[in-house]
Amino acid sequence: MTAATVGALLAIAVWTWAVVAWCGRRPWGDAGRRFFRHPSATKGMVVLVFLATVALCAPLVTPFAPYQQILTLQDHAPTWLHPLGTDFIGRDVWSRLAYGARVSLGVGTLGMLVAVTLGGLVGAAAGYFRGWTDALLMRCVDIGLSIPRIFLVLAAIALWGKLGVVALTVLLGLTGWFATSRIVRADVMSVRERPYTDAVRALGARPWWIVLRHVLPNSAAALIVSAALGIGNMMLIEAGLSFLGAGIQPPQPSWGNMIADGRDQLATAPWTALFPGLAIAVAVMALNATGDALRDALDPKARGV
Amino acid sequence: MRAWLLRRIAAGVAIVFASVSISFLAIHLAPGRPFLPVDERPIDPAVRDRLNRIYGLDQPIAVQYVRYLAALAHGEMGESFSQRRPVAEAIADAAPNTLLLTTSALAVDFTFGILIGLFQAARARRRSDVALANVTLLFYSLPIFWLALVLQLVFGLWLGWFPTGGVDDPAVYGSLPLIGQLANRLHHLVLPALTLGIVGAGGTARFQRASLLEALGQEYVRTARAKGLAESAVLIRHAWRDALLPMISLAGLALPFLLTGAVLIESVFSWPGLGKLATDAISARDYPLVLGTTLLATCAVVLGSLVADLLSVVADPRVRLTT
Amino acid sequence: MNRTFVHSPRILVLLPALLVALGGCKGQGGCTTEYCGTVVFAASGEPTTLLPAVATQAIERDVHDQIFLKLAEIGPDEVTFGDSGFTPELARSWEWTDPLTLTFHLDPRAKWQDGPPVTAADVAFTFDAYTDSVVGSQDRSTLLEHMASVTATDSLSVVFRFRYRYPEMFYDATYHMRILPAHLLRNIPHATWQTAAFGRAPVGAGPYRFVSWTPGQSIELAADSTYFLGRPHLRRLIWRVAGNLNNAVTMVVAGEADAVEVLVTAANIAKAKADSALTLYPYAGSTFNFVRFNLRANGDRSKPHPVFADPQTRRALVLAADRPQMVQAVFSGSAKIPPGPIPQLWSWLWKTKLTPAPFDTLEAARLLRGRHLSFHLAVPSTSPTRVQYAQLLQEQYRRLGITVVIDQVDNATLEQLLESGKFDATLESIQNDPTPTSSVPPLWSRGGPTNWGHYANDRFDALVKTATSAPTREAAQTAWEQAFAALDQDPPCIILYALDNIAAVNRRIADVRIQPDSWWGLVRTWRIPPNQLTERDRAGR
């Protein structure tokens, strides 16, 4: 680790503090106040902002390229130069961890975006139109929820042979929307019964317009919460797939394939698999903590406190 | 009630049919073929042609699909390519191991989850509650296979307290008395069940705590408190009973989670269960075995959610049945 | 309630420990003699069938080699020329009645494990089964190519008739077939051998009897105390299914199994070395690993490959790979770079004047003439070593402006990519027979059944022909040397490494000898001294 790296990390820490503090002082209204009063909200946000910034600024905080191999330094224990040690082909674990954050957080976030969009649309359509649309869509959801997801994804990966990052993200999204759509459907059904929906309908608005403009925003809270809590799950599944050898392709680092790479060395060079595992745990924890706080803030009646 | 049950069963059958069809198509379209050389010794094309003919893989896919469904209607799941015996036998050997693993894990999950949740609710917002909340959040967020590897390394390899894999020690198991056999199995079960259970317990505890706190805010609990009941009695006798209800549906929903976890855990601990059977079958392109395991897993999930719904009706007559 | 919570984790740990202690209270006793030991092998995979004629995997061979016998066993030196290195097994003696006729005389003491004696009719029956296309044996074409017939002349004499003369006739007559019990298999239609129940409960004439097979868990064999070539010292052999190599090594290091046949990775070797309960036994490996080039366009066999059709480019790619550094990085000295497609098993071919092509980036750059290459490299995701190698190679080439895209695929997919020609390059591993005669030609000869990259080199083909029909090993060595030199100039692949295999075996087991072509082939001579016996050795059904 060079002085420049330490400096960059410190700068990111300061930036993180500034961002979170700034957000905390914005007048977001009731929900915002409730969010920041939640005991785990600030902690979760600090970790997330920090990790996201490290991921975005990976070249600034890493002394080595993530694929640079120093073959005289394989499986080397942490030193000042390699703060988290080196892996089985002499790559700097810290540098790979920082670049891996891009992939792991990116796949999780974008995958969830796909899932939430799809789940939101399907749920809204089913909840709004009812009838056979609802029946058909919900049966599909039942099927999706009934096949264990890991089987589904493994079979799909076998189907395409190997997947790029984009395809993997889409695949995770496509297999992850089922639960979301149920939540949204329930929400939409209750919104649909409210008087103002009837009023808009009476004014002659098109059904899709009503759904997009009036119904969906009302279930936005449910969507946001399910997304925040779902990203962590996405990341865990990506890691599990990489562990089974079906995830992100080398030399691109992801936290999951770093664990898979380090598996054989776990007894002799524990740092190679230990740190990416901890990174996943910390990131998912932060996501869950933030998700909890969001849920409590956006949905006062479900407040667990 | 009866109409509801019939409708649910019909829907369940439809779901199973659809999932088998999807899996059939997916695995047959997948690149790669069965009967591959396992250890880099090229297989003679003539030998593979022979095997393809034996298992009817030389037929068009539509014919194979119809044949498979017809056989399935007669209760036949076909012959496994990689085990050279009926799929039903292969599943019958593996299913008890997965059942043992998942039920033990569920027991660990709920015992720890409920106790921690209760404890936290009793100490809500005090330091011990916050500390435990962090711990449960951590377990809930851990990659399960990573935890398995770490526990295997520490308690299996370094400390030597527990075996690192398998369901029993085949060298001594056969000659042990019954109690010894039981002990041997239990000894092998500890690490995999604990790993799977602990991760689940994190979620269960969070859920239990939240629903307890919600119950504690209810009118009748306040009444009980006003009557001068001790806080522990209020918690256990009144609030807990109410908060147990959502736990039943949680148990039904835990099944897919446990099955996914089992796939990863069984691979780490060489546990000869359904998860390992399924992943091995996928990589060997053992079509009938893949379909057999998918069929079973889907049935389990469908049944699990049905039973959970039924139980919540039994536990609380106020719950209305809708599809 | 508070107390329950605090104590429950401890109970959870103590309870099984208590039960284990109870279970262990059975006391000493059981077997205590010279013939007691139990050896547990950790296996990466599980057999499909134990019927030798249809078995294809190494793990299947490991088990059925204890149950079934060959006519004669290839010696520890693995000499395939003539019969000088072979030791008698089912055949007590043999003689050449004329240059094309070989007569074996069976040992009259040999008996099937269910009672009847082994007869010449069993041998003839075995040959007929191995060569029937309906059975689907891997060795069918090799046997039929060389041998016209096998007939019993009396109950203990059997005659092999060959089609032509060549140096490895004896090897081919004895190496491929395990003699099968005709009285048990005659009534099973050949078409159902692949799925026959016999394959899950085999009966042979070897040193060990089949006892049980618990699918997904273990296979147990027991010593036949009346075995005619000497009672095996180890009483029981158990294979535990570990699922993959990593789990298998973990089991052996944790003391839950006694032996694993290969360690492969530097990490595994370090783990085993650090364990004082294990002894490591190096022996010659039978694999070599290489990057195969596809000389035809990816997915279109009628067109030349844009990168690999040019011999100069292929040669440049060989020169640009720093193989010594990679072998050092991955294996830290437990693998070597062969001077051709040669596993360590063929030790006589390593003593040639050939040397591996040097690491020479200057010459590589000259041959590449400043072009920027790009290609896909398919690697099986199940092999951590090859995935590691692919990443090393990718990085070395990247520095020279060559872009390699790694595609991790599973074995089933890799196999299909190869057969359909939809690949640029693959990182493969090949298991070899004890002789290059049957191993090399299929890989690189024009039209060879596993020449997936459509390599064609007339000079090489002619030299292979000379080598395979050479009358002596010296002559064969010279011819192979020239053939491999031809491959070196016009390379079909980059030969990366040939493993030194290392087996890890528990120290309490004495007289461990390992047969390079069939790791556990000599297990019947292993023993555990009575003072080293453990609970596991004494236990028994």
Alpha-carbon gap, residue A272 to A302, rounded angstroms: 41
The radius of gyration of chain A from alpha carbons, rounded to an integer in Å, stands at 22
**Distance from A5 to chain B by nearest Cα, in Å?**
28
d(CA B249, CA B246): 5
DSSP assignment of A102-152, as one string?
A: HHHHHHHHHHHHHHHHHHHHHHHHHHHH-HHHHHHHHHHHHHHHHS-HHHH
Q: What is the dihedral of CA C529, C533, C536, C539, to 10 degrees?
A: 90
Q: What are the helix (H) ranges across B123-234?
A: 127-141, 144-151, 170-173, 178-216, 219-226, 231-233
- In terms of DSSP bridges, do strands C403-409 and C374-380 run parallel, antiparallel, or are they unpaired? parallel
**CA–CA gap between residue C538 and residue C513 (Å, rounded):** 23
Tell me phi and psi for residue B131, to 5 degrees.
-60, -45
Chain C nearest C-alpha distance from B284 (Å): 7
Q: Do C136 and B156 touch (CB under 8 A)?
A: no
**What does the radius of gyration of chain B's CA atoms come to, in whole angstroms?**
24
Nearest one of B308, B271, B128 to B196, comparing CA atoms: B271
Least confident segment among A186-195, C250-259, C376-385 = A186-195
pLDDT class of C6 with cuts at 50, 70, 90:
very low
Token readout for C220 is: 């147990």
**Rounded CA separation B235/B221 (Å):** 9
Most confident of A207-221, B4-18, C501-515: C501-515
Spell out the alpha helix ranges (H) of C369-472: 384-399, 411-420, 436-444, 458-468
The CA-atom distances, in angstroms, between A24 and each of A17, A19, A32, A266 are: 10, 8, 8, 41
CA distances from A16 to A21, A282, A287, B123 (A): 8, 16, 16, 33
Which residues from C are below 8 Å from B161, CB to CB?
13, 17
Q: Do C13 and B40 touch (CB under 8 A)?
A: no
Establish if C329 touches chain A: CB-CB under 8 angstroms.
Answer: yes
pLDDT band of residue C505 (cuts 50, 70, 90) is very high
Chains in contact with A, where contact requires at least 3 CB pairs less than 8 Å apart: B, C
pLDDT-derived band at C62 (thresholds 50, 70, 90) equals: very high
CA distances from C473 to B191, C164, C350, C432, C465 (A): 56, 18, 13, 18, 14
B51-81 residue pLDDT tens: 888 888 888 889 999 999 999 989 899 889 8
C144 touching A (Cβ < 8 Å): no
Distance from CA of B27 to the nearest CA of C (A): 12
Q: Which two tokens stand for residue C55?
A: 């078995």
Closest CA to A64 of A91, A84, A88, A87: A91
The residue length of chain B stands at 323
pLDDT at C27 over 50: no
Cβ within 8 Å, pair B38-C428: no
| pLDDT-based confidence at residue B320 (cuts at 50, 70, 90) | low
Residue closest to C394 by CA, chosen among A62, A59, A68: A68
CA distances from A70 to A73, A86, B108, C325 (A): 6, 9, 45, 11
The pLDDT assigned to C478 comes to 92
Mean pLDDT value of segment B231-250? 76
How far is the CA of C212 from the CAs of C179, C420, C523, in angstroms?
21, 40, 19
User: What residue has token string 């957080």?
Assistant: A105
Which among A70, A97, A68 has a CA at the least distance from the CA of C395? A68
What are the pLDDT digits (tens) for B158-215? Answer: 999 999 999 999 999 988 899 999 999 999 999 999 999 998 898 889 888 888 888 8
pLDDT score recorded for residue C31 = 75
Q: What's the confidence (pLDDT) of residue C70?
A: 96
- Contact in structure between C481 and C454 (CB atoms under 8 Å): no
Alpha carbon of C266: minimum distance to chain A alpha carbons (Å): 9
Task: Check pLDDT > 90 for residue C309.
Answer: yes
Distances (CA, A) of B319 to B217, B310, B312: 21, 10, 7
Please give, rounded to a whole number of angstroms, the shortest distance from the CA of C263 to a CA of chain A. Answer: 11
What was the pLDDT predicted at A1? 63
Residues B207 and B114: their CA atoms lie apart, in Å, by: 9
Least confident of B118-127, B269-278, C300-309: B118-127
Closest residue in chain C to residue A241, using alpha carbons only: C381
Average pLDDT, chain A: 83
**Mind listing the pLDDT tens digit for each residue in C147-176?**
999 999 999 999 999 999 888 999 999 999
The residue in chain B having the minimum alpha-carbon distance to the alpha carbon of residue A267 is: B153
Q: Which strand (E) or helix (H) includes residue C294?
A: none
Evaluate whether C388 touches A88 at the Cβ level (below 8 Å).
yes
Residue B271 Cα to chain centre, angstroms: 13
Q: Is the pLDDT of residue A305 over 70?
A: no
CA distance B25 to B23: 5
CA distance A109 to C128: 63
> Pairing between strand C38-43 and C72-73?
unpaired
Per-residue pLDDT at B33: 78
Whether residue A213 has pLDDT greater than 80: no
Residue B124 with chain A: CB contacts under 8 Å: 305
Tell me which chains share at least 3 CB pairs under 8 Å with chain B.
A, C
pLDDT of residue B91: 94
Q: Which residues pair with A210 in a beta bridge?
A: none
Scanning every residue of chain A, which has its alpha carbon at the shortest distance from the alpha carbon of C378?
A162
More confident residue, C225 or B27: C225
Q: At what angle do helices A93-129 and A271-298 cross, to 10 degrees?
A: 30
pLDDT tens, position by position, A117-156: 999 889 888 888 888 888 889 888 887 887 777 777 776 7
Kindly report the average pLDDT of chain B as a whole number: 85
- What part of B 100-159 touches C (C-beta under 8 Å)? 108, 111-112, 115-116, 118-119, 122, 152, 156-157
Q: What mean pLDDT value characterizes chain C?
A: 89
B213/A232 touch (CB, cutoff 8 Å), yes or no: no
Instruction: Give burial (CB, 10 Å; 0-12/13-18/19+) of C172.
Output: buried
* A280 contacts in chain B (CB < 8 Å): 141-143, 146
Lowest mean pLDDT among A110-114, B96-100, B310-314, C363-367: B310-314
Structure-token pair, residue C38: 């139990």
Residue C426 has pLDDT above 70, yes or no: yes
Of A90, A245, A251, the CB nearest to C382: A245
**Which of B83, B172, B174 is opposite residue C215, by nearest beta carbon?**
B83
Mean pLDDT value across residues C456-482? 91
Q: Would you call A155 an interface residue with chain C, using a CB distance cutoff of 8 Å?
A: no
CB contact under 8 A, C22 and B156: no
Closest CA to C497 of C412, C390, C363, C374: C390
Interface contact B47-C417, CB threshold 8 A = no
> Which residues of chain C does A75 touch, with a Cβ-Cβ cutoff of 8 Å?
267
Helix B87-122, helix B274-284: angle, nearest 10? 130
The per-residue DSSP string of C23-84 comes to HHTT-S-S--STT--EEEEEESS--S---TTT--SHHHHHHHHHH---SEE--TT---SSST
| CB–CB contact C8 B284 (8 Å) | no
How many CB atoms sit inside 10 A of residue C79's CB?
18
Write the CB contacts of C541 (distance below 8 Å, at least 6 apart in sequence).
B174, B175, C211
* The dihedral sign for the CA sequence C341, C345, C349, C353: positive
Which of C331, C379, C381 to mutate to test binding with chain A, by most A CBs within 10 Å of its CB?
A: C381
Q: Please check whether residue B200 is in contact with residue B258, taking contact to mean a CB–CB distance below 8 angstroms.
A: yes
Rounded Cα gap, residues B134 and B128, in angstroms: 10
Interface touch A147/B143, C-beta < 8 Å? no
Q: Is the pLDDT of residue C535 over 90?
A: no
For B239, the 3-state DSSP assignment is helix
Set of chain A residues whose Cβ sits within 8 Å of the Cβ of B267: 244
Sign of CA dihedral C185, C189, C193, C196: negative
Q: Quick one: which of C251, C511, C262 has its CA closest to C385?
A: C262
DSSP string covering B10-40, please? HHHHHHHHHHHHHHHHHHHHSSS-SS--TTS
B143, A256: Cβ pair inside 8 Å? yes
Reported as a single tens digit per residue, the pLDDT across C322-336 is 999 999 888 888 899
Provide the CA C65 distance to its chain's centre, in angstroms.
13
Q: Does B175 lie at the interface with C, CB-CB under 8 angstroms?
A: yes
Side-chain half-sphere CA neighbours of C171 within 13 A:
20
Which of A19-22's residues contact partners 24+ apart within 8 Å by CB, and which partners?
Answer: A19/A49, A20/A45, A20/A46, A20/A49
Residue A245 · residue C408 · CB < 8 Å: yes
Residue carrying structure tokens 């999807």: B22
Find the CB nearest B83 among C48, C236, C413. C48
Half-sphere exposure of B229 (CA within 13 A, CB side): 16
Nearest 5°: the CA angle B97, B185, C255 is 110
- Select from C191, C287, C416 the Cβ nearest to the Cβ of B31: C416
Interchain CB contacts (distance < 8 Å): A and B: 133
Name which of A17-26, C202-211, C238-247, C287-296 the model is least confident about: A17-26
Percent of chain C with pLDDT over 70: 94
Give per-residue pLDDT as tens, B74-90: 989 988 988 888 999 99
Other Cβ atoms less than 10 A from the Cβ of C533: the count is 19
Is 70 exceeded by the pLDDT of residue A161? no
pLDDT score, position B304: 81
Task: Name the nearest CA neighbour of A114 among A205, A234, A289.
Answer: A234
Interface check for A252 against chain C (CB to CB < 8 A): the answer is no
**CA contacts within 13 A on the Cβ side of B61:** 9
Q: Where is average pLDDT lowest: A21-30, B271-280, C268-277, C504-513? A: A21-30
| C394 close contact with A: CB closer than 8 A | yes
